[in-house]
Amino acid sequence: MCATRPDLAARPEPSDLIRGLGLWSATAIVIGDTIGTGIFLVTSDMARAVGSARLVFAAWIVGGLIVLFGAFCYAELGAAFPKAGGPYVYLTRGLSPLLGFLFGWMSSFLERPVAMATLAAGFLRFVGFLFPVVATPLFTRHIGRYDFAFTAAQPLAALVVLAVTAINYLSVRMGGAIQVLLTSLKIGTIMVIVVAGVLFGKQNAIEAAPLVTPLGLGTIGALLTALVPAMWAYNGFNDLGDLGEEILRPQKNIPRAIILGLLTVGGLYLLANVVYFHTLPFAKLMQSQHVASDVVQSFAGSRGAAWLTVAMAISALGALHVVVLTGARIPYAMARDGVFFQFARRIHPSFRTPSGALIFLGSLAALLALSGTYEELYSLFVFAVWIFFALTAIALLRLRKKEPNLSRPYRAWGYPWTPLIFLVAAVALTVNLWMIRPVRSSLGLAVILGGIPFFYRWRKSPGASAAARSHG
């Protein structure tokens, strides 16, 4: 019977991890994870996709509403299951152990390493604005129709990944303090851009932008394409649950931090884009590789742009830090359940951090940082992640029916419509991305499905059997 199932929220299992993150640290982690490189860079990608300033704003607003509805889902599940691994636990409990495992597999081999590599590439893109020599190709190779350019930025990005991984290795509490500091800097950076842009920037660019085209299939397809970089910029609201065993009073603080953090981010993003389009002509913004830096340069000169770019680079490092912090808990939770490589279960005896999982993710992300550019990496990331966003929405809907008596300290606002809208949007975005980037999307799907034989191998272990009983 559903009522006799173990309640993970009411009867938490002993953990080797430390509960050291309060509400403000948790909120800073959500904001810090979400505000990374995207808001400073991807508006030009969105402008090229839709050809209209108004449609770019539409993409930001629609994307913000979608992720807000998704945040309601993750807030309910995070409060009900405050366990390390987050969605790995939600999907295992709500759908099946196989789907929970495939999320963890995808996260460990694709999502987190790709996110880490993408943020490091974005950091080096900011560095390239200050020191253009970083972006100079060292050599170029032609592989079929693909031109692979290797620059100094790629090995430097790999070193950045390893350095941030080492910081996470040292302490959880230090990680929370770092996030509060870096998140304050990120918010301050965006607000400086907004206030200075209003006071000193040009005020006629939005009116000069092309008008919105009639709503049709082409416009909808372009809008979905623009949502891909927007969703990269919004990603992060879903990661706090991974730290469920390290947050104080998780039943209250996880929902509060997710929703408060995401509302803050959405407001900052819209303000920043208003300034971008009021300051730069649409044609120039569309071609910019450093939108925020070019905006600041237009009214504050090269020196002002350089200082703001340094702050943006630090923002990228802050996001990279929290992606490593949250991501390592997923392979750790799986290894603890006996369904992953057992070295990922190691906890450092002094620092009490998941040292094995951190070394695994850092090494894989460093290799990925050598392989691709910023745009190529984030499109692969969005495809893989949004498949499991859709499944998480389904898990929430199924748990409401399957386990009506489950303790739910927070219930998703607008149920069932908000999770249903989130589900439909996730499916539409995933299908559209597969259509426009079939090779990379198929590669991502192949990596996900490649975990199936490992699941059936590991699930036979005694540890996996005990974990299955505890989750079900």
In sequence order, what are the beta bridge partners of 21?
247
The pLDDT value given to residue 209: 43
User: How many whole angstroms separate alpha carbon 225 and alpha carbon 219?
Assistant: 10
Which residues, including other chains, have CB under 8 Å from residue 92's CB and lie 6 or more apart? 99, 100, 101, 471
Q: Would you put residue 338 in left (φ > 0), alpha (ψ -120 to 50) or beta? A: left
110's tokens: 């694709």
* CA of residue 68 relative to chain centroid, distance: 14
Q: Among 407, 394, 415, 412, which residue's Cα sits nearest to residue 2?
A: 407
Q: What is the pTM of this model?
A: 0.81
Give alpha helix (H) positions in 328-406: 329-336, 355-369, 374-402
Q: Are 28 and 321 spatial neighbours (Cβ–Cβ below 8 Å)?
A: no
Along the 472 residues of the chain, how does pLDDT read in single tens digits? 333 333 434 344 455 677 778 888 889 889 988 888 789 888 999 999 888 888 999 999 999 999 999 999 999 999 999 998 899 999 999 999 999 999 999 999 988 998 898 889 889 888 988 888 887 777 776 665 556 677 888 899 999 999 999 988 886 666 667 777 888 888 998 999 999 888 887 765 454 444 444 556 677 878 888 888 898 889 888 888 888 888 989 999 999 999 999 999 999 999 999 999 989 888 899 999 889 989 999 888 888 888 888 988 888 888 898 889 888 989 999 999 999 999 999 988 887 889 999 999 999 999 988 876 656 666 667 778 889 999 999 999 999 999 999 999 999 999 999 999 999 999 988 888 788 878 878 888 888 999 999 999 998 776 555 554 455 5
| Torsion angles phi and psi, residue 135, rounded to 5 | -90, 0
| Torsion angles phi and psi, residue 354, rounded to 5 | -75, 80
- Domains contained in the chain, CATH given: 21-459 (1.20.1740.10)
The pLDDT value given to residue 407: 93
User: How many whole angstroms separate alpha carbon 443 and alpha carbon 146?
Assistant: 15
User: How many whole angstroms separate alpha carbon 79 and alpha carbon 407?
Assistant: 9
| Torsion angles phi and psi, residue 341, rounded to 5 | -60, 130
The pLDDT value given to residue 208: 42
